[in-house]
Structure 1
Amino acid sequence: MSFEEQPDFARQVADLNKYGQALNRCESVEEVVSLTLEAMSLLFDLSYSTFVEAHEGELRVVHSTNPHLTPGDQPSETAQRALESGETIVETGVAAGVTDSSEVSATLAVPAQMADEVSAVLVARSTSKNSFGDEHSRPLEILASHAATAISNIRSRERLERARQDLETRKEMIELYDRLLRHDLGNDLQIIAGFAEAVETQVEGQTAEYAGKIQRAARNSADLIARVGDLVSTLEQQDEPEPRDLDAILSETVSQVGDSHESLSVEFDSGEFGYRVYGGELLDSVFTNLLSNAAVHNEGDVTVELSATTPTPDEVVVRVADDGRGVDPEIREEIFEMGAKGPESNGSGFGLGFVRALTESYGGTVDVVDSESGGAAFRVTLQRV
């Protein structure tokens, strides 16, 4: 008999929906585990219930009513198969037990997943049933789906909170360096430049040349500090991430950058970016910098392709790939450091550092790899709403 043909089908669906609503109100994964095991015990005729958490492809038992399992244990091969296949697994006979002497006659392992990401495996065992049919697997799959949604939401909130805390720490450090650079070093450089200018007017020959070089170096350094100060002020004023429409941000950015750089062609379909992501008012600056870099750091006409992928249910990766000369693998990490720039760059070296600082403040990441056409492909990962 199928799940839908059960005489108490409507009641069981209603009970599952109530648990689903309760799971979505959970504040921690521990609460999700406790409530899910409660539902498995009350709604199903099971001998043992086990909640197995999946993290980075590894499984561990979080809690179980089975006396042979304790938190932290490695789960059974049945749970591992459910993780790897992403499908419900049923075992009967000797293979169903945790130990060779187990009285378990049937085991049901259901992956809790959103899209292709499995966050947990619910394992049900019975000492009285010879097998588990559709009337058992279907309702447990519904419960697993509710648990997966709850866990995904909790982890998204945790990542966002960590990003906010990191942003506060980063702002405190930036403020410290800002005071040091602008108020102390900046003033000293102005004094050096002023005295060097005075010396240059009173001497001749090579001495005057040296004084002129000292003056120019001091002025350039002071100018650089001023630009860093502007960047610091921008980051200090950065608001906390909130839901924003990615397609609208990219559409406006592509239009503005295209008007500024005639050599740049952007392949962009706004319909591929129908996602809401966490970001601040400066999120558009991330993509403005990346698109402008493609035009500025490549000679002649350059084409950039924008595309999006969703590697997990709570993330979206925006790929900005050009057909230019690319980025040397040896400096790909260095170019995201504040003040760093490529050997042939005439810029200040703060554009990509700014991009990384902003992206990380939104709980995201950015990196660069080779594009299919041999250029550079910047990948901006953002948290989905």
Structure 2
Amino acid sequence: MSFEEQQDFARQVADLNKYGQALNRCESVEEVVSLTLEAMSLLFQFSYSTFIEVREGELEVVHSTNPRLTQGGKPGPVAREAFETGETVVTTGADAGLDGNSDVTATLAVPAQVGGEVTAILVTRSTSVDTFGEEYSRPLEILASHAATAISNIRSRERLERARQDLETRKEMIEMYDRLLRHDLGNDLQIIAGFADAVAGEVEGQTADYVGKIQRAAESSADLIERVGNLVSTLEEQDEPEPRDLRSILEATVTEVDANFSELTIDFDPETADYRVYSGELLDSVFTNLLSNAAVHNDEPVKMDISVVETGNDAILVVFADDGKGVPESIRAEIFEMGAKGPDSSGTGFGLGFVRALTESYGGGVTVGESEMGGAEFRVTLQRA
């Protein structure tokens, strides 16, 4: 018998909808687990129900009415199979129990998925039926979908809260560096420059050359402090992430960069970027930096492909792949550090540090690798709104 052919089909659908609405109002994963197990008990009234969460690829029992399973423990093989295949699994007979001494006659394991990624597994075991047909698996799949959505939303909120906290910490550090750079180092440079100017008119020959180098070094350092100070001020002014339209930001950025760099050819389909993401007002600066870097750091004309894809954890990945000379593997680990730069770079080294600081403040991140075209590939992760 199919799920729809049951006499109590309408009641079960109504119950599932009510639980789905209640799950979306949950504030914690613990609430989701408790409510889901309650729904499983109401729907099926079977002996054992288990909620398993997937954490960084590992399966962990969150709660179970089965006395043989404990919180934080590892589930049985049927849950592992559901996780690895991403499909509903039914086992019967001797294979249904956790061991040979079990009175379980049938086990049903349903993966809860969001965006193709399994985030949890619901398992119910019976000692009274020989197998589980669609009349059992279908409602549990619907419930699992509701639970997966609820957990995904909660985890997204948690990531955004961590991003907000990280942003506050970063602002405090930025303020400290700002005071150090502008006040302490700035004052020292003024003294150096002042004495160098005074000495310049009193010496000649090689000594005058030395004084000239001191003056130029002081001017260069003061200019660098000013630029870093402007960057610091920009980061200090960042607000908390909020939903923004990714497509319009990317379109405007591509248009602007394309007009400024004739040696850069950009392949981008705006329709692939129809998403809303959590970010701040400077997201366009992140994209501008990555696009312009491809033109500035390559001697020959460069082609760049921009692609936008969903990831399984409610995030969006914006990929910038080019056919330039790439980023050497030896410097990829530190290239996003403030002040770090490639061996052939003539810049300050703060551009990619700026990119990382901004994307992390939005609850995302940025990485670099080698593209399929042989050049660099920058991958920007943003939380989907």
TM-score tier by shorter-chain length is over 0.9
2:74 aligns to what?
74
Q: CA deviation at 1:216?
A: 1.1
The separation in 2 between residues aligned to 1:361 and 1:255, in whole angstroms, is 26
2:347 aligns to what?
347
1:379 aligns to what?
379
Decide whether the 8 Å contact of 2:318 with 2:380 is kept in 1.
Answer: yes
1:177 aligns to what?
177
Where 1:53 maps in the other structure, the secondary structure is strand
2:279 aligns to what?
279
| Amino acid in structure 2 at the alignment position of 1:98 | L
Residue 359 in 1 paired to residue 359 in 2? yes
Q: Structure 1: any 5+ residue segments left out of the alignment?
A: none
1:159 aligns to what?
159
Please, what TM-score do these two structures have when normalized by structure 2?
Answer: 0.98
Q: CA deviation at 1:134?
A: 0.6
| Amino acid in structure 2 at the alignment position of 1:73 | G
Where 2:5 maps in the other structure, the secondary structure is coil
The separation in 2 between residues aligned to 1:57 and 1:371, in whole angstroms, is 26
Where 1:131 maps in the other structure, the secondary structure is coil
The separation in 1 between residues aligned to 2:337 and 2:88, in whole angstroms, is 46
Moved more, 32-41 or 199-208: 199-208
Q: CA deviation at 1:133?
A: 0.7
| Amino acid in structure 2 at the alignment position of 1:293 | N
| Amino acid in structure 1 at the alignment position of 2:291 | L
1:17 aligns to what?
17
2:92 aligns to what?
92
Output one character per residue of 1:327-379: Cα deviation in whole Å (capped at 9) or x when no partner: 11101122211111111111111111111110111011111111122111111
The separation in 2 between residues aligned to 1:107 and 1:373, in whole angstroms, is 48
Residue 200 in 1 paired to residue 197 in 2? no
Where 2:144 maps in the other structure, the secondary structure is helix
Decide whether the 8 Å contact of 1:200 with 1:209 is kept in 2.
Answer: no
Q: CA deviation at 1:115?
A: 2.3
Q: CA deviation at 1:43?
A: 1.7
| Amino acid in structure 2 at the alignment position of 1:301 | P
The separation in 2 between residues aligned to 1:70 and 1:349, in whole angstroms, is 51
1:306 aligns to what?
306
Q: Which ranges of 4 or more aligned residues in structure 1 deviate by more than 3 Å?
A: none
Where 1:335 maps in the other structure, the secondary structure is coil
Decide whether the 8 Å contact of 1:108 with 1:137 is kept in 2.
Answer: yes
Moved more, 53-62 or 117-126: 53-62
The separation in 2 between residues aligned to 1:301 and 1:104, in whole angstroms, is 67
The separation in 1 between residues aligned to 2:261 and 2:145, in whole angstroms, is 48
Task: Give the paired residue count.
Answer: 385
Matches within 5 A, 1:204-353: 204-353=204-353
Decide whether the 8 Å contact of 2:115 with 2:311 is kept in 1.
Answer: no
The separation in 2 between residues aligned to 1:65 and 1:122, in whole angstroms, is 12
Decide whether the 8 Å contact of 1:190 with 1:219 is kept in 2.
Answer: no
The separation in 1 between residues aligned to 2:375 and 2:329, in whole angstroms, is 12
| Amino acid in structure 1 at the alignment position of 2:338 | M
| Amino acid in structure 2 at the alignment position of 1:265 | T
| Amino acid in structure 1 at the alignment position of 2:244 | R
1:57 aligns to what?
57
Q: CA deviation at 1:284?
A: 0.6
Where 1:238 maps in the other structure, the secondary structure is coil
Q: CA deviation at 1:149?
A: 0.2
Residue 117 in 1 paired to residue 106 in 2? no
The separation in 2 between residues aligned to 1:181 and 1:326, in whole angstroms, is 32
1:190 aligns to what?
190
| Amino acid in structure 1 at the alignment position of 2:130 | N
Output one character per residue of 1:55-107: Cα deviation in whole Å (capped at 9) or x when no partner: 12211111111111111111000010000001111111111112211111111
Identity of aligned residues (%): 73
Where 1:125 maps in the other structure, the secondary structure is strand
Supply the RMSD in Å over aligned alpha carbons.
0.9
Decide whether the 8 Å contact of 1:52 with 1:63 is kept in 2.
Answer: yes
Output one character per residue of 1:6-29: Cα deviation in whole Å (capped at 9) or x when no partner: 011111101000000000000110
Moved more, 217-226 or 149-158: 217-226
The separation in 2 between residues aligned to 1:12 and 1:343, in whole angstroms, is 65
The separation in 1 between residues aligned to 2:144 and 2:231, in whole angstroms, is 46
Output one character per residue of 1:27-65: Cα deviation in whole Å (capped at 9) or x when no partner: 110000000001011121211111111112211111111
The separation in 1 between residues aligned to 2:375 and 2:72, in whole angstroms, is 46
Where 1:203 maps in the other structure, the secondary structure is coil
Decide whether the 8 Å contact of 1:23 with 1:150 is kept in 2.
Answer: yes
Q: CA deviation at 1:313?
A: 4.5
